[in-house]
Amino acid sequence: MFKRSVIRLALTALCFAVAVAVAASASAQQSPNESLPASPSLAGSAAPIKGIASAACLACHEARIIVQQRLGKAAWTKELDKMIKWGADVDPKDRDALIDYFSSNFGPDQPAYVAPRSARAPRGALRPAIR
Amino acid sequence: MGNAKFSGPSLKALLEKAGVKDTGKHVQFRGLDILTGHVPPFVRSIPIEKAADGDTLIATHMNGAALTPHHGFPARAVTPGWVGAASCKWLTEITVLGKPAEGNFMSPGYRMPNTPVKPGDPAKPEDTHSLAALTVNSTIAAPSDGAKIRPTTKSGAHVIQGAAWAGEADIIKVEISTDGGDSWKSAKLGEDHAKYAWRLWSYAWKPAKSGDYVILSRATDSQGRVQPDAAVWNPSGYLNNACDHVKVYVQA
C-alpha cells in the first residue's frame, strides 16, 4: 500500500462543461491524416486485410504510429492482443491475418521511418530575426 | 507546435501547504479525460524532485488568460521541459505516492530503452526508463517543404528560420545545411531566451544557382547533445529528434 496524501481540486461543478469540450477535441484528433500503405505482399484475396486494419486501428490512432513501429512478429502479436483487450473492434477470425499484415509490412527489416512534412507554417508564425 | 507562458501556483507551494511526508517520492496526476473501451486510466507520476523544484506548476493561465478547455481548463499540470504526458490537463486529483505510479502508462508503456536497441523487439522492462525530459530538437518553419522560391534578390538573402528546444537544457547552437547534410553552417540564435522555452533561429541563405535543395537543421544543447541524422529506434517512436528537413526548388 502507498501512503497517500490526496489533494482534490474543487471541480465537480465544472465536470459537465469540461467533459463536453474534451469529447469535441478528442474527435477532432481522431481523424487520421495518413492512410495505411498498400500491401504488395498481400495482393489478391488477402488485400482486404488493409481495410480491416484501417477500420480497427485508425479509429483511435494515426497510421504513422503503426508504420514507424517496425516490430517483430512476437511483438506485433502482443500489441494486437493488447489492443483487442482494450476494445479494438477486431473479428477473432481476422486476428492471425492482421498479425501477418503488420509483421510483414511493418517489421524490423523496413527502412527507418522518416516523418512526413505535411504542415505548412502559418504566415507570421515566427517573426523573422533577419530583416 | 507553439510556445506559451503558463502561470499559476507552483506545485511546490501546493505540496508544502498539503504537507508531504518523508516517504513521498512521486506525485501522480489524474485528469478528467477518459479513454474509450477498456483502456486503463491514463495516470502517470513524476519524481518528487521534479514536482517540488519550484518550476512545475498547477497552471490556471496561459499567456495571461484563463486556460481554454482545449488547454486544460480550469487547471493543469505544467512539468516544464518534460514530455507532454507529464503535464496532465483537466486536473482532478494530485496524489503523493511512496513510489512511481503503477499502470500501463508508467510500465510497460511510455518508456525508452536505456541504451539503443535494434528494431524488432522491445527492450526488457528492467532495461528501460520512464519518459521524462525532452531531448534536443529543432524544426524548420520556413521555407515550407516543396516551396518554389525565387533566386536571391537585390535585398539580400532568403531567410531560413525555425525554432529549437532542449527540454531542461539550453540551446547553444543551431546549424543549417542546404546541401542535404554534406556541409553545415551556424544559424543566428534569436535574442529571446528563457528556460524551457524554444529558441528561434534564422539563417540568411544565398543559393548560388537554381535547382533542388534539401535544407536541414541540427541543434546542439548545453548538455552536449546533438540531433542525430536518424532517430534512435524504440517501439512507439518516442523522442524522435532526427534532423528536420525540407525540400525546396530555387527557380531560375
Radius of gyration for the alpha carbons in chain B, expressed in angstroms and rounded: 21
Cell of B228: 542525430
List the domains of chain A with CATH numbers: 37-105 (1.10.760.10)
Q: What confidence tens digit (pLDDT) does each residue in B115-141 have?
A: 989 998 888 889 999 999 999 999 999
Closest to B175 measured CA to CA, from B231, B141, B226, B232:
B226
Cell of B214: 534539401
> Cβ contact (<8 Å) for A130 and B201?
no
Environment class of residue B75 by beta-carbon count within 10 Å: exposed (0-12), middle (13-18) or buried (19+)?
buried
pLDDT higher than threshold 60 for residue A19: no
8 Å CB contact between A62 and A32:
yes
pLDDT at B251: 87
> Cβ contact (<8 Å) for B200 and A126?
yes
pLDDT at B208: 81
Buried b (16+ CB within 10 A) or exposed e, B94-122: bbbbeebbeeebbbebbbbbeeebebbeb
Cα–Cα distance for residue pair A40/B37, rounded to 1 Å: 32
pLDDT higher than threshold 90 for residue A24: no
3-state DSSP helix/strand/coil % of chain B, to nearest 5: 10, 35, 55
pLDDT at B99: 98
pLDDT higher than threshold 60 for residue A39: no
Closest to A106 measured CA to CA, from A80, A76, A62, A61:
A76
Taking CA–CA distances from A66, the nearest residue in chain B reads B236
Looking at every residue in chain B, the average pLDDT score rounds to 94
Which of the four pLDDT bands, split at 50, 70 and 90, describes residue A10? very low
pLDDT higher than threshold 60 for residue B14: yes
Residue A71 pairs with which residues in a beta bridge? B120
Which of the four pLDDT bands, split at 50, 70 and 90, describes residue A111? confident
In eight-state DSSP terms, residue B54 is S
8 Å CB contact between B178 and B140:
no
> Cβ contact (<8 Å) for B144 and A128?
no
> Cβ contact (<8 Å) for A71 and B121?
yes
Instruction: For chain B, positions 154-183, list CB contacts with chain A under 8 A.
Output: 157, 159, 161-163
Closest to B170 measured CA to CA, from B225, B99, B109:
B225
Interface confidence, given as ipTM, is 0.82
Closest to B181 measured CA to CA, from B226, B216, B223, B220:
B216
Q: At B95, phi and psi to the nearest 5? A: -125, 130
Taking CA–CA distances from B41, the nearest residue in chain A reads A86
> Cβ contact (<8 Å) for B92 and A9?
yes
Least confident segment among B26-35, B46-55, B114-123: B114-123
pLDDT higher than threshold 60 for residue A119: no
> Cβ contact (<8 Å) for A3 and B98?
yes
List the domains of chain B with CATH numbers: 6-130 (3.90.420.10), 137-250 (2.60.40.650)
Which chain A residues are closer than 8 Å to B157 by Cβ?
A: 130
- Does the CA dihedral B179-B184-B189-B193 come out positive or negative? positive
* B94 touching chain A per CB within 8 A: yes
- What is the model's pTM? 0.83
Cα–Cα distance for residue pair B148/B127, rounded to 1 Å: 47
pLDDT higher than threshold 70 for residue B9: yes
Cell of B14: 501546493
Cα–Cα distance for residue pair B179/B201, rounded to 1 Å: 19
Identity of the amino acid at B50: K
Q: What confidence tens digit (pLDDT) does each residue in B127-183 have?
A: 999 999 999 999 999 999 999 988 666 666 889 999 999 999 999 999 999 999 999
Which chain B residues are closer than 8 Å to A9 by Cβ?
A: 74-75, 91-94
pLDDT at A115: 72
